[in-house]
Structure 1
Amino acid sequence: MIDATMTKRMEEATRLTRAGKLQEAMAVLQGAIPESSGVETPDTAYSEGNTFDGTCEVIDEESTESNPEPAKSPAGAFTSGDIKVPAAWRDKWMKFRGGIVQPEQAPSASEEPQPGTFTAGRFTNHVGTRDYKLYIPSGYTGQALPLVVMLHGCTQNPDDFAAGTQMNRLAEEQLCCVLYPAQPATANTSKCWNWFKTEDQQREGGEPEIIAGMPRQIIATHGLDKSRVYVAGLSAGAAMATTLAMTYPDLFAAVGVHSGLPHGVAQSLPDALGVMQGGTGPLGGGKSKGASWASEVPAIIFHGDRDTTVHPRNADRVAAQYSKLRQAGASVEQGKVVNGHGYTRTTHHNAKGNPQLEQWRIHGAGHAWSGGSTKGSYTDPIGPDASKEMLRFFFIHRLASSQL
């Protein structure tokens, strides 16, 4: 475990980062690892170039990226637009990874062919530009289908995430469209959604505004059902999904958070590392920056209890931000996948008996998409099917007419 001295260094680095003294903060972090070398060049926060409000361009039918970069952690706290962590620190942090063994690179991250279309496109607004992949099931004939937005973890891309979650197969069976925004290396060198940066935690600004603009454009283009738009993610993508639930509750009818983190609890790299570890972040004894955030968007939460990349207690912290959905007398169910993981599901229902908040604790699982396919990275095939359960939960919910 990180000892007390290292913890103090992280806290001091956090203070210096908030004060804008990035070099001093980096020096403190490097002091915790004597063998580390100098500071690397910061990455570019967003790609430069001309942007046009609300434009959407189809690029081609093939993926622009066939394989994810070598994986470090899909939670994405190793790099940011401010500072980078030296390799020695990164290697030390990697010792905290748990769960099933994953290849450092998914050699053939491609989903089994589906009869629908899986098209690449690009969205641009005044904040920036992001590529995406969109799956439209073969049963689509112009009707107002639901839309599920899927946010990948670090080092992943839309093709990898689609292959691992198998969401396109389910979309074909249950008739919905699936949108996979892509985070480029120009925004974060590990392709992480920047959940730990203040400018990317607000409504009408940063990455949340870009992501929120995508489904609006897709809905208008294809005539989809704007009352049934859902968002889900893994790790850094899950953290961004809950950020969207907090900042755009008028857009998303439900949210799925897999191995994620609470909204607004980190504003710097040291903050993020502490929150991920579970004991040294703002909610681990310091001032709780995320406590004031709350959302009434129905939520389904998955987390492995042996996750050493994002500490399992973060699932409880995420659930706490949806506390308005909690009802007295929640039901608790124990179950087990045949030849797989056991789980505990805690469900809070509304007055009509519909689940408003579900929390799944997967026993023995690490940092991986439960029930996913090995065709994608960061998956655990022997857990309950998170994709199937999320769609079941999502389709119970739609936005009230007053929110449209």
Structure 2
Amino acid sequence: MNLMDPTTYMGASQCQNDRLADLIEFGPNPGGLNAKIYIPENLPADAPLVVVLHGSKQTAAEYDMGAGWSEIADQYGVALLFPEQQRVNNLMLGFNWFVPVDGHRDAGEPLSILHMVEKVVSDHGIDRRRIFITGLSSGGAMTSVMLATYPEIFAGGAIIAGLPYGSAATLSAALLRMKGLGSPTAEQLEARLRNASVHEGPWPTLSVWHGSGDRTVYPSNANAILEQWRALHDLEKRPSSTYIVNGYPRRVWSDAEGRELIEEYSITGMGHGTPLKTHGKNSYGASGDYMLEVNISSTRHIADFWGLSAA
């Protein structure tokens, strides 16, 4: 899915499985975003929160229907927050990760999302040590922004077909970076990530997912994300371990105590979208445009990487 592509997604607003409720009066909203939530019945005290960011030409409800996050929320006892772009801000409904005001702490869309998080935490007694964020495409790029600008808020993040923080500051640059062209150096990207906040650690864990056949956001962006965060965590370039999961390679970088800090799934041959397993055991969501049936549920594996299933 091109982050600026006018191609229609899944029949636009005709989502038939909208389980989400509006979050209103969450405070100042400089980014002009909408907010949706999903709170399971009998949510336990000190539950975790997952912030879910849709891709361009998607709504929050459409992305939830495809990825199956509300199914995970019911199963694991997790609160969900879905920031949602408005067409007045971006005609393609993508998050404005490449606009300077929307790429910095305490401004624009990041500050709106922070206020949403604080509202849900306050209203539902969320465990502040277990706040996570994930997103696809422009939502994946905005996940990079949120992890960079508010690393003290998030225990972990998951970037699906996204881009590294600080890779573009204009629309024309963003379109080039999506094609893997003209990226800043690894050293520049590391410096931009470190300088995005005054935080000095500990840092969020990170899960990175990308299709090896993605020609909308090229897989070189996944490599750039990994380089940024390996440097921040002071990890070696060589992974600590490698696995095959549902037929796809998973690489893991762990600390000296064996704690998994970064994981990467490269989905062989997959194009641009969220990897899904929609049939059989451990299946979630529904396939559609940019919600891709490839026999592995990124939603489930991300939740497990964050320890939500154990909770």
TM-score, normalisation: structure 2: 0.85
Corresponding position: 1:237 with 2:237 = no
State the structure with more CA Rg.
Answer: 1
Match of residue 182 from structure 2: 281
Q: Is the 8 A contact 2:32 2:89 kept in 1?
A: no
Deviations 1:164-185 (A, max 9, x none): 1101001100110111111000
- One-letter code aligned to 1:389: H
- One-letter code aligned to 2:22: A
Pair 1:128–1:107, CA change in 2 (3 A): closer
SS at match of 1:264: coil
Q: Matched residues in 2 for 1:211 and 1:310: separation?
A: 24
Q: 1:389 aligns with which of 294, 301, 311?
A: 301
SS at match of 1:374: coil
- One-letter code aligned to 1:386: S
Match of residue 359 from structure 1: 264
Q: Matched residues in 1 for 2:189 and 2:109: separation?
A: 18
SS at match of 1:172: helix
Q: Is the 8 A contact 1:272 1:281 kept in 2?
A: no
Q: 1:109 aligns with which of 3, 15, 30?
A: 15
**What's the CA shift for 1:75?**
2.5
Pair 1:287–1:221, CA change in 2 (3 A): closer
Q: Matched residues in 2 for 1:348 and 1:287: separation?
A: 18
Q: Is the 8 A contact 2:50 2:133 kept in 1?
A: yes
Q: Matched residues in 2 for 1:316 and 1:173: separation?
A: 32
Corresponding position: 1:148 with 2:50 = yes
SS at match of 1:390: helix
Query: Superposition pairs for residues 253-292 of structure 1, below 5 Å?
Result: 253-278=155-180, 280-283=181-184, 289-292=188-191
Q: Matched residues in 2 for 1:228 and 1:388: separation?
A: 17
Q: Matched residues in 2 for 1:125 and 1:74: separation?
A: 30
Corresponding position: 1:169 with 2:78 = no
Q: Is the 8 A contact 2:166 2:192 kept in 1?
A: yes
Corresponding position: 1:75 with 2:3 = yes
385-394 vs 124-133, which deviates more? 124-133
Deviations 1:348-393 (A, max 9, x none): 1123322100011000111011016435541112241100011111
Match of residue 310 from structure 1: 217
- One-letter code aligned to 1:164: G
**What's the CA shift for 1:74?**
4.9
Q: Matched residues in 2 for 1:136 and 1:187: separation?
A: 27
Q: Which runs of 5+ in 2 are unaligned?
A: 195-202, 278-284
Pair 1:176–1:74, CA change in 2 (3 A): farther
Corresponding position: 1:348 with 2:250 = no
Q: Is the 8 A contact 2:239 2:252 kept in 1?
A: no
Match of residue 10 from structure 1: none
Pair 1:329–1:202, CA change in 2 (3 A): closer
Query: Superposition pairs for residues 158-197 of structure 1, below 5 Å?
Result: 158-197=60-99
TM-score, normalisation: structure 1: 0.67
Match of residue 37 from structure 2: 134
Pair 1:371–1:128, CA change in 2 (3 A): closer
Pair 1:377–1:329, CA change in 2 (3 A): closer
Match of residue 242 from structure 2: 332
SS at match of 2:106: coil
Q: Matched residues in 2 for 1:262 and 1:150: separation?
A: 18
Pair 1:376–1:159, CA change in 2 (3 A): farther
Q: Is the 8 A contact 2:20 2:61 kept in 1?
A: no
Pair 1:344–1:274, CA change in 2 (3 A): same
Q: Is the 8 A contact 1:304 1:367 kept in 2?
A: yes
Q: Is the 8 A contact 2:207 2:263 kept in 1?
A: yes
Q: Matched residues in 1 for 2:134 and 2:218: separation?
A: 19
- One-letter code aligned to 1:75: L
How large is the Cα RMSD of the aligned pairs? 2.5
Pair 1:288–1:277, CA change in 2 (3 A): farther
**What's the CA shift for 1:104?**
5.9
Q: Matched residues in 1 for 2:288 and 2:37: separation?
A: 17
Pair 1:304–1:126, CA change in 2 (3 A): closer
